[in-house]
Amino acid sequence: MSAVLKVENLKVHFPIKTGGFLNSTVVPLKAVDGVSFDVGAGECLGVVGESGCGKSTLGRAILQLIKPTDGRVLWLGENLCDLAPEAMRQKRSDLQLVFQDPLSSLNPRLSVAEIIREPLYAADPSISRGEADQRIDEIMSDVGLLPEMRNRYPHEFSGGQCQRIAIARAMVLKPKLIVCDEPVSALDVSIQAQVINLLRKLQREHGLSLIFISHDLSVVRHLCHRVMVLYLGRMMELADRDALFAKPLHPYTQALLSAVPIPDPALERAKEPLILSGDLPSPLHPPSGCVFRTRCPKASPKCIKEVPAVEVLSGGHQIACHHWQD
């Protein structure tokens, strides 16, 4: 599978002023700290981790909505980080984003047709009204919105319908990559399944590549081809979905998967969850060496001194841990 997107050593550090009025200092908050991966054509890559681990910042940095501090984002071989704003604007047709909260991401003063039409006029101001309306009708049909909904407003819809509108807005430009930032976390479980199945259908029919950001491992397992695990802005593990869920190698991945409920009550009672000690450290003052060492049951003096290098195993399985073989 050829890679359409390559992310190399991506860093996003936010300068934060700390201390008092007279002795303030600027400390970098390392939201994303040296992450590398690629996404193939038609592939869905899941990005998982605890809240505050840098998932959303990573997605926005890929789309250049947040300017990376360092690293490269190669889209079809071209580094997006080097593009001027006008040149980046021309790439927006290929790269789209679906936000977490469907209702707040839609303009309440615009009708459904106007919301979906806006990207068309932004990408091509010369497009005719008739052509725009045809594209709107086609994409509304694709995402399961009825024609009579064209002139309604966001507040008249449920959360699931609002997310369909947001997906239609992203799809109307016929993108090649969509970053989905927890698109189902604000929805009821029954509605989540509908939206997930819609994304699978659109990916299959349009050959889309997806970066699916989520904290719900069950959803990721259902939708994604590969999964990347983040912790405190760093990649802990990246692997094929089946390999990761069958045999996670990193202690953090093992802890995440042990927290997933098992539908069988007997198996759920019998399992021994791996409970991490302590709280997530502050990204303002991350631990030295391996950022996971303060909560890791396998931590050693080596973990304090050395940042673990990313090892590439058979099948493209990647892991950053000194003691994954122990």
Tell me the per-residue pLDDT of 236-282, one tens digit each, with 9 for 90 and over: 999 999 999 999 999 999 999 887 777 767 766 777 777 787 788 88
Classify residue 316 as left (phi > 0), alpha (psi -120 to 50) or beta.
left
Q: What is the mean pLDDT of the chain?
A: 90
Checking if the pLDDT of 186 tops 80, the result is no
Rounded to 5, what percent of the chain is helix, strand, coil? 35, 25, 40
Stretch 6-23: mean pLDDT, rounded? 88
Stretch 130-142: mean pLDDT, rounded? 94
Multiple choice CATH, 3-94+176-319, 3.20.20.450, 3.20.20.70, 3.40.50.300, 3.40.1280.30: 3.40.50.300
Residue in 52, 36, 32, 2 with CA at minimum distance from that of residue 279: 52
Residue 255 pairs with which residues in a beta bridge?
none
How crowded is the C-beta side of 85, counted as CA atoms within 13 Å? 2
pLDDT band at 309 (very low <50, low <70, confident <90, very high): very high
Q: What is the largest CA-CA distance in the chain?
A: 67
More confident residue, 273 or 215: 215
Q: What is the pLDDT of residue 36?
A: 96
**DSSP structure class, residue 28:** E
Q: What is the pLDDT of residue 43?
A: 95
More confident residue, 276 or 136: 136
Checking if the pLDDT of 317 tops 90, the result is yes
Checking if the pLDDT of 157 tops 70, the result is yes
Checking if the pLDDT of 72 tops 90, the result is yes
Q: What is the pLDDT of residue 264?
A: 66
The domains of the chain are located at 3-94+176-319, 108-174
Q: List Cα–Cα distances, 299 to 14, 90, 218, 234, 257, in angstroms.
A: 28, 47, 28, 17, 19
Residue in 10, 25, 60 with CA at minimum distance from that of residue 284: 25
Give the Cα separation of 171 and 119 in Å (integer).
10
Stretch 18-22: mean pLDDT, rounded? 76
Q: What is the pLDDT of residue 311?
A: 94
Q: What is the pLDDT of residue 294?
A: 92
Residue with tokens 């050829």: 2
More confident residue, 11 or 263: 11
Residue with tokens 């709280």: 279
